[in-house]
Amino acid sequence: MPRIPKGPHLWLRAARYKDGKCTHQATWLIRDGQTKESTFCKKDEREAAEKKLAKYLAMKHAKRPLATGVEEEDVYIADVIRHYLTSRSEWLDSMKPFRRKSWLAVYQRLNNFWGKLTVAEINQENSKRYKKDRKDTTTRNELIALKAAVNFAAKANIVNLRRHHNYDIPKPSPPRIHFLTLEEAIKMYKVARRRRRDFRSGKRGNLCATQVARFLVVGLMTGTRADRINRASFEREPGRPWIDLQNGIYYRRGDADFVSG
Give residue-wise pLDDT tens across range 34-71. Answer: 888 899 999 999 998 888 887 777 677 666 777 888 89
Model confidence at 150: pLDDT above 90? yes
Could you give the CA distance from residue 87 to residue 65 in angstroms, rounded to a whole number?
Answer: 13
Contact between 218 and 211 under an 8 Å Cβ cutoff? The reply is no
Angle between helices 124-131 and 97-114 (to 10 degrees): 130
Top pLDDT among 123 and 258 is at: 123
The residue ranges of every structural domain in the chain are 9-54, 70-160, 182-251
Q: Percentage helix, strand, coil, to 5, in the chain?
A: 45, 15, 40
Half-sphere exposure of 126 (CA within 13 A, CB side): 18
Identity of the amino acid at 11: W
Q: What percent of the chain has pLDDT over 70?
A: 92
Of 16-25, 50-59, 187-196, where does mean pLDDT reach its minimum?
Answer: 50-59
Give residue-wise pLDDT tens across range 93-115. Answer: 888 788 888 999 999 999 999 99
> What's the burial of 168, exposed, middle or buried (CB within 10 Å: 0-12/13-18/19+)?
middle
Identity of the amino acid at 123: N
- Residue 106's closest CA among 63, 157, 148? 148
What does residue 7 show for φ and ψ, rounded to 5 degrees? 80, 180
Kindly report the pTM of this predicted structure: 0.59
What does residue 258 show for φ and ψ, rounded to 5 degrees? -80, 135
Angle between helices 182-194 and 210-222 (to 10 degrees): 160
Could you give the CA distance from residue 93 to residue 133 in angstroms, rounded to a whole number?
Answer: 32
Per DSSP (E only), the strands in the chain are 9-13, 16-18, 21-24, 27-32, 35-42, 70-71, 159-160, 242-244, 249-251
Could you give the CA distance from residue 216 to residue 222 in angstroms, rounded to a whole number?
Answer: 10
For 88-121, the DSSP string reads: THHHHHTS-HHHHHHHHHHHHHHHHHHTTSBGGG
Res. 27 pLDDT band, cuts 50 70 90: very high
Question: In sequence order, which residues have a C-beta less than 8 Å from that of residue 195 and are 6 or more positions away?
Answer: 207, 208, 209
Q: What pLDDT shows up at residue 238?
A: 81
Mean pLDDT, all residues of the chain: 86
Could you give the CA distance from residue 38 to residue 41 in angstroms, rounded to a whole number?
Answer: 8
**Three-class secondary structure of residue 199 per DSSP:** coil
Half-sphere exposure of 74 (CA within 13 A, CB side): 9
